[in-house]
Structure 1
Amino acid sequence: MLVRFWGTRGSLAVAQTAGAIRGKIARALVAAGGRGFADTAEAEAFVDRELDFATGGTYGGATTCVEIEGGDGSFIVCDMGTGLREFGIDAFRRCAAGHERTYHFFMSHLHWDHIGGFPFFGPAFDPNAHIVIHSGHADAEQALRRQQEEISFPVAFDWLRAKIEFRTLAPGETYRIGGLDVEVMEQHHSHKSYGYRFTDDAGKTAIFSTDSEHKIDSMEGEADVAHFFRDADLVICDTMYSLADAVSMKEDWGHSSNIVAIDLCHEAEAKRLALFHHEPIYSDDDIQRMHQESIRYEELTRRETPLEVLCAYDGLEVRL
């Protein structure tokens, strides 16, 4: 199983500002200490070897879109955030090389940051494509059609040429979709959200659980979540806020913290956690700092089995 992250921000797509790029360049020049580089390859090797990620790279700004590869050859995609546009471009490339043109989408929920990439999804205009949209929400079709009404977007939903189906999934059931076993969990969020558990034939399991609020002062009520995460090889979890933000300014906003995610994964004895759905106002430095703090917290609270803490970024690939 291979997991690709095409969009990792929450709430709103963001772009690097000129000031942020300028700061990265300045820090890189200071780190170089006057050294010269013979060519671009040598300079890139310096970036990879000596710069921290927040200086030499970026966590990205596209909203939620994650691909899971490892089923029957069809595309498996979680959510339709703005990262879906880049996925669609890459899917065209793979389909030209013979990849099957079936797309299974699994929707956490229907807020704008999770559906806003669909009007820009190139394969939706491919008459040979088959798109199946799975959701716990019976009104998923209504939401996608509404965002392409003329008042909001110039291309109507009915102008799309792919074959598009909507299927409603129920929590507590196990479905065989795209060569994977899929389980569904209802989560605490406005208009509800749903988490998904994907297991391939080799027994590898990836969890997609975003836009769900787990409160540090009521963890005794999260046993069902820990069970859903049980023994997972990778848990992609909503860690939008620091614990301080989650319990002070943004309680009941429908999102969770890095600390709570680590506690849940420890309880579940999961192997890896990917911090995900990054707050749009957090800079690369802010996210990197949260990642480092998360690694330290995991070490301090570790039980028998270590939990590897990753920080998702646009373009990250994780092989299970």
Structure 2
Amino acid sequence: MLVRFWGTRGSLAVAPTAQSIKGKIARALVAAGGRSFADENEAAAFVEGELDFATGGTYGGATTCVEIEAQGDGSFILCDFGTGAREFGINAFGRILQGHKRVFNVFMSHLHWDHISGFPFFGPAFDPNTRIVIHSGHADAEKAFRRQQEEISFPVAFDWLRAKIEFVMLTPGKTYHIGGVDVQVMEQHHSHKSYGYRFTDTAGKTAIFSTDSEHKIDSMEGEVEVAAFFRDADLVICDTMYSLADAVSMKEDWGHSSNIVAIDICHEAGAKRLALFHHEPVYSDDDIQRMHRESIRYEELTRREQPLEVLCAYDGLEVRL
């Protein structure tokens, strides 16, 4: 199983500012210490090997979109249609030209704008030979997708799309066989509800997609069912939008969770890897990197029988299970 992250921000797509790019370049020049490089390849090796990620790269700014490539029936498997879906669609066309199946099974966590706003720019939706099946726990999923393409909001109406588009409602607690993988659904605590998904392929690898769900540190006894859903997962992609301080003070009841709570639940579940995800749009690359480092340290201090590898998702990250 291969997991590709096409969009990892929450709430709002963001772009780096000119000032933030200048800051990265300045820090890189200081780190180089006057060294010169023979060519771009040599300079790229320096960036990759000697600069921290926040200086030499970026966590990105596209909103939620994650691809699950698994041993299945050859269809694409996607989680959410955030703005990262545009880049995914371009990439998917390239694979289709090489013979990939033109079927997309898409699993929606929920219907807020940051999770559906990439769909109007999703190229395969304009291909009459493509089939798109949108799976959701929401009865009003089609209404939400159509409404964002009404004339007052967008110039291309939903009915102008050429692909064969279907909406399928899933029920929490059931196990489905979709796209050649087993899929389980969990209801989560969020405005208008959200849903988490557990994907298990024929090789027995399991990935969890659980975003936009609030888990409170002062009521962890209520998270037993969540830990059971995450049980022994090879990768848990989890909403860690806030630091613990933000989650328990200014942003309590906003429908999102912290890095600390995600680690606690993954420890309880015996999960192998955790990907910090749905990054706060006001957090800079430095802020996200700091949270990642703090998360690794917290995991080390609270570790149980087996270690939990803590990753930090960024646009373009690939994780092979």
Which TM-score tier does this pair reach, normalised by the shorter chain?
over 0.9
* Aligned counterparts, 1:71-150, within 5 A: 71-150=72-151
Give the corresponding residue for 1:222: 223
Q: Is 1:46 matched with 2:46?
A: yes
* Aligned residue identity for 1:98: G
Structure 2 residue aligned with 1:268: 269
> Structure 2: which amino acid aligns with 1:310?
L
Q: CA deviation at 1:176?
A: 0.2
Match of 1:206 in 2: 207
Q: Aligned-residue CA RMSD in angstroms? A: 0.3
SS at match of 1:145: helix
Secondary structure (helix, strand or coil) at the match of 1:24 reads helix
1:207: Cα distance to partner?
0.1
Supply the AA of the counterpart residue of 2:119. Answer: F
Structure 1 position 187, deviation (Å): 0.1
C-alpha separation between the residues in 2 aligned to 1:125 and 1:211? 29
- Residues in 1 aligned to 2:205 and 2:114: alpha-carbon distance in whole angstroms: 28
Secondary structure at the aligned position of 1:137 is classed as coil
Deviation, 1:5, is: 0.1
Q: Which amino acid aligns with 2:32?
A: A
**Which residue identity is paired with 1:173?**
K
Aligned to 1:171: 172
| SS of structure 1 residue aligned to 2:110 | coil
**What is the alpha-carbon distance in structure 2 between the residues aligned to residue 72 and residue 59 of structure 1?**
32
Task: Give the C-alpha shift of residue 90 in structure 1.
Answer: 0.1
The residue type paired with residue 147 of structure 2 is R
**Structure 2 counterpart of 1:309:** 310
Q: Does 1:69 align with 2:59?
A: no
Tell me how many residue pairs correspond in the alignment. 320
Aligned equivalents of 1:109, 1:150: Cα separation in 2: 23
Residue of structure 2 in register with 1:192 after alignment: 193
The runs of 4+ residues in structure 1 deviating greater than 6 Å are none
| Cα deviations by residue, 1:110-132 (Å, 9 ceiling, x for unpaired) | 00000000000000000000000
Give the whole-Å Cα distance in 2 for the aligned partners of 1:152 and 1:187: 29
- Distance in 1 (CA, whole Å) between partners of 2:26 and 2:16 is 15
Match of 1:58 in 2: 58
Aligned match of 2:256: 255
Question: Counterparts of 1:163 and 1:171 in 2: how far apart (Å)?
Answer: 26
Query: Residue 275 of structure 1 aligns to which amino acid in structure 2?
Result: L
- The alpha-carbon deviation at position 31 of structure 1 amounts to 0.2
Alpha-carbon shift at residue 258 of structure 1 (Å): 0.0
Question: Match for 2:43: what amino acid?
Answer: A
What's the counterpart of residue 28 of structure 2? 28
Please give the per-residue CA displacement for 1:167-200, whole angstroms capped at 9, x wherever unaligned.
Answer: 0000000000001000000000000000000000
Residues in 2 aligned to 1:11 and 1:113: alpha-carbon distance in whole angstroms = 5
Between the aligned partners of 1:107 and 1:128, the Cα distance in structure 2 is 22
Distance 2:66 2:173 in 1: 23
TM-score (normalizing by structure 1): 1.00
Tell me which residue corresponds to 1:8: 8
Residue in 1 that maps onto 2:157: 156
Equivalent position SS for 1:63: coil
Q: Output the CA distance in 1 between the equivalents of 2:50 and 2:310.
A: 21
Distance (whole Å) between structure 2 residues aligned to residue 88 and residue 155 of structure 1: 17
Q: Distance in 1 between matches of 2:82 and 2:203?
A: 29
> Could you list the per-position Cα deviations for residues 205-244 of structure 1 after superposition, in whole angstroms to 9, with x for gaps in the alignment?
0000000000000000100000000000000000000000
Mapped partners of 2:237, 2:49: distance in 1:
27
1:222 alignment partner, SS class = helix
d(CA) in 2 for partners of 1:105, 1:73: 14
Question: Runs of 5+ in structure 2 lacking a partner?
Answer: none
Structure 1, unaligned runs of 5 or more:
none
Q: What is the letter of the counterpart of residue 35 of structure 1?
A: R
- Distance in 1 between the 2:313 and 2:296 partners? 14
1:18 and 2:21 aligned:
no
Quote the offset at 1:72 in angstroms: 1.6
